[in-house]
Amino acid sequence: MKKSLLKKIMCGALAAAMIMSICTGCGSEKKDDSKSEGNTEKTYKVGICQLTQHEALDAATKGFQDALKEKLGDKVEFDLQNASGDSATCATIANQFVHDGVDLILANATPALQAAMAATGDIPIVATSITDFATALEADEWTGKTGINVTGTSDLAPLDKQAAMIKELLPEAKTVGILYCSSEANSKYQADVVKAELDKLGLTSKVYTVADTNEIATVVTKACEEVDCLYIPTDNTIAEATAAVKEVAEPKNIPIVAGEEGICRGCGIATLSISYYSIGYEAGLMAYDILVNGKDPADMEIKYATELTNKYVKERTTALGITVPDTYEAIEMSEE
């Protein structure tokens, strides 16, 4: 009887231990699930490398930050660094982000993206204000996805429509000067496409490049002596120095069609404008999907601007006697 009783006690103890083990395991599994879902509980560190400070890139960065703040509230911290237009500084910033172990990098403009790519193949990179990702990534074949730790949003507006805008607004123009910075690969891409489109429209085009802002006055002076109008693509170097372009071109009555609104506001007459805030905001939503929902940037399609508006600067078109269709929206200009 004693052995039978002892056996029953031992069996009961073993069963109780098994039940406790199962319960403990259940509790542990539940805790792990909570931790997994706790991506929204974690505070994320996001490094932002912006090539330079100007209207378009500033708007894209703000849109990105606003999107993540709306999604994560105070669970996201930004380290915003501006490279002041210097590619080497972009590299320094990107390497510091890697050293600091940020959870994600926003690369705002092509040199920032290229620096981030050189710094890390592991940390997710979301880029914005990239005209052509294939050019920025030096990709021979393009599928719409990068296949690496990079995704993001493009600021490319339809270049054929920008060329057509020149023909529409300046029907008497015969020769178009295309002005951009030679060190910006995306600017060259745009220039080549627009040149081909101008050829289709029967217009002659001449290309003028600057190595940096110090050459702008000299190059623009030469261009204004040889062309009827200028086209400037989305170019970060020119965007920093629109006042210098305006100072030369305006007294010579040379109209300028620009690739984006910031450059147009500074020295142009018209643009087919995208919203940089919107592409930045979209990039922020993509970052949220990566950080919280576990999306792989390698498999995420690059996204493009959907908000396109024909815009013009009324003061300049009026001064030049240019007739603007009613479908164009006037750009609000601050008093200079």
Whole-number pLDDT of residue 314: 96
Question: pLDDT band for position 73 (50/70/90)?
Answer: very high
Question: pLDDT band for position 333 (50/70/90)?
Answer: confident
pLDDT (tens digit, 9 = 90+) per residue, 196-225? 999 999 999 999 999 999 999 999 999 999
| Among 234, 298, 244, 238, CA closest to 271 | 234
User: How is residue 138 written in tokens?
Assistant: 């030096």
Distance CA 181, CA 170 (A): 24
Whole-number pLDDT of residue 335: 54
User: In percent, how much of the chain has pLDDT > 70?
Assistant: 87
Cα angle 320-266-78, degrees, rounded to a multiple of 5: 160
pLDDT (tens digit, 9 = 90+) per residue, 23-45? 344 443 333 333 334 455 789 99
Coil, strand or helix: which one is 166?
A: helix
Distance CA 35, CA 72 (A): 16
| Among 159, 158, 116, 161, CA closest to 136 | 116
Asked whether 72 and 92 are in contact (CB, 8 A), the reply is no
Whole-number pLDDT of residue 173: 97
Whole-number pLDDT of residue 9: 38
Whole-number pLDDT of residue 38: 43
DSSP 8-state secondary structure symbol assigned to residue 234? S
What is the mean pLDDT of the segment spanning 76-94?
97
Distance CA 260, CA 268 (A): 10
Coil, strand or helix: which one is 187?
A: helix
pLDDT (tens digit, 9 = 90+) per residue, 111-126? 999 999 999 999 999 9
Whole-number pLDDT of residue 40: 56
Residue 97 has pLDDT above 80, yes or no: yes
Sheet holding 308-312, edge to edge: 204-210, 175-181, 229-232, 256-258, 270-274, 308-312, 329-330
Torsion (CA) 207, 211, 217, 218 in degrees, nearest 10:
-70
Residue 322 has pLDDT above 70, yes or no: yes
Question: pLDDT band for position 307 (50/70/90)?
Answer: confident
pLDDT (tens digit, 9 = 90+) per residue, 226-263? 999 999 999 999 999 999 999 999 999 999 999 999 99
Beta strand 270-274 pairing with 308-312: antiparallel
Residue 20 has pLDDT above 70, yes or no: no
